[in-house]
Amino acid sequence: MNTAANNFAKAEMMIRRPVHEVFEAFIDPGITTKFWFSKSTGKLEEGKITEWTWEMYRLTIPVLTKKIDPNKNIFIEWGEGENLSSVEWTFTALSKDKTFVRVINSGLKAIGDELFSAIRDSTEGFTLLLAGAKSWLEHQIQLNLVADKHPNGPE
């Protein structure tokens, strides 16, 4: 059964940094490239299209930033055509130096086994993203989790 209630992926994690630092890490490609994509055409800005590139995958994805609520939410649409979906990051300050981040990728358009694969792949990808962000923001260690998932990752 393919219902709107079941066509999403979710990942979440606590990061031991202040909410404004964690939020900025997902807006500013100068930081985000330390743990996710390899390059970007610019900082996320509400109403603007940005392109994110994963050079190791030879993949570039258009990203439309729909809404930014500083230190609270980022809502984007990414992809094209049948691969268009929505991603929402929610940032919750647990204390002055702890932030809980939730990522939900919704609107996945596949059905049956293809939907299960899309949910699995998205959940895996966003879990790696959050683990890499945690490592970078807490310890300034670049784990290359996203790049190393690919068999032809960086040397």
DSSP string, 37-67: -SEESS---TT-EEEEEEGGGTEEEEEEEEE
Question: Residue 106 pairs with which residues in a beta bridge?
Answer: 8, 86
CA 78 centroid distance within chain:
10
Identity (one letter) of the amino acid at 98? K
| pLDDT at site 39 | 96
Question: Residue 63 pairs with which residues in a beta bridge?
Answer: 50, 78
Tokens of 27: 């807006």
Q: What is the pTM of this model?
A: 0.91
pLDDT tens readout for residues 76-130: 999 988 889 999 999 999 999 999 999 999 998 888 898 899 899 999 999 999 9
| pLDDT at site 3 | 47
| pLDDT at site 40 | 97
Half-sphere exposure of 65 (CA within 13 A, CB side): 22
pLDDT of 65 above 90:
yes
Strands 73-78, 85-95: pairing kind:
antiparallel
CB-based contacts of 139, cutoff 8 Å, min separation 6: none
CB 99 within 8 A of CB 92: yes
Tokens of 60: 């570039």
Burial class (CB in 10 A: 0-12, 13-18, 19+), 76: buried
Tokens of 57: 């995958």
CB 97 within 8 A of CB 14: no
